[in-house]
Amino acid sequence: MSLGLEQVHQIATLARLELTDEQTERYSGQLSAILELVDELRAADTTGVEAMNHPLGMTQRLRPDTATEPNRRDAFQEVAPAVDNGLYLVPKVI
């Protein structure tokens, strides 16, 4: 499977990555080589094999729906790039 420039551009859009033309070009070759490596999987016979989601076959543990953590909003917002009054600031959306 090889990826053309347009596909790389589309993937980067989905992944929210802004690429230069030069990067798009370079990634096109590199991603194609990686996909060539993983294409070996297609030859494997997996008829009747159940997909493995968890290495130990465990299911999600549940806990009572009660608050266990203290509210540390100030501490967590200290590492935010821009906050005001407890709110995260971003460029104008509407």
Partner 1 sequence: MHELSIREMSEALRDRRISSRELTQHFLDRIAHFDARLNSFITVTPERALQQADAADARLAQGADTAPPLLGIPLAEKDIFCTEGVRTSCGSKMLDNFIAPYSATAVRKLHDEAGAVLLGKCNMDEFAMGSSNETSFYGPVKNPWDETRVPGGSSGGSAAAVAASLAPAATATDTGGSIRQPAALTGLTGIKPTYGRVSRYGMIAFASSLDQGGVLAHSAEDAAYVLQAMAGFDPRDSTSVDRPVEDYTATLNAPLKGLRIGLPGEYFTDGLDAKVRVAIDAATEVFRQLGAEVRPVSLPHAALAVPTYYVVAPAEASSNLSRYDGVRYGHRTEGATSLEELYRKSRAEGFGAEVQRRIMVGTYVLSHGYYDAYYRQAQKVRRLIAQDFDAAFQQVDMLLGPTTTDIAFKLGEKTADPVSMYLNDVYTIAANLAGIPAMNLPCGFKTVGDAELPIGLQLMGSAFTEARLLNAAHQYQQATGWHQRRPVNFE
- Give ∠ CA 80-69-85 in degrees, rounded to 5: 35
User: Look-up: residue for tokens 């589309």?
Assistant: 10
Q: Least distance from C-beta 28 to partner 1, angstroms? A: 10
How far is residue 8's CA from residue 13's CA, in Å, rounded to a whole number?
9
Q: How many CB atoms lie within 10 A of CB 70?
A: 7
Nearest CA-CA partner of 80 in 89, 91, 71, 69: 89
Q: For residues 25-84, which are near partner 1 according to CB under 8 A? A: 27, 30-31, 33-42, 44, 46, 49-56, 58, 60-61, 63, 72, 75-76, 78-82
Q: Least distance from C-beta 52 to partner 1, angstroms? A: 4
Q: Least distance from C-beta 77 to partner 1, angstroms? A: 8
Q: Least distance from C-beta 92 to partner 1, angstroms? A: 8
Q: What residues form DSSP beta bridges with 84?
A: 87
List interacting residues with partner 1 (CB under 8 A).
Answer: 3, 8, 11-12, 14-19, 23, 27, 30-31, 33-42, 44, 46, 49-56, 58, 60-61, 63, 72, 75-76, 78-82, 88, 90-93
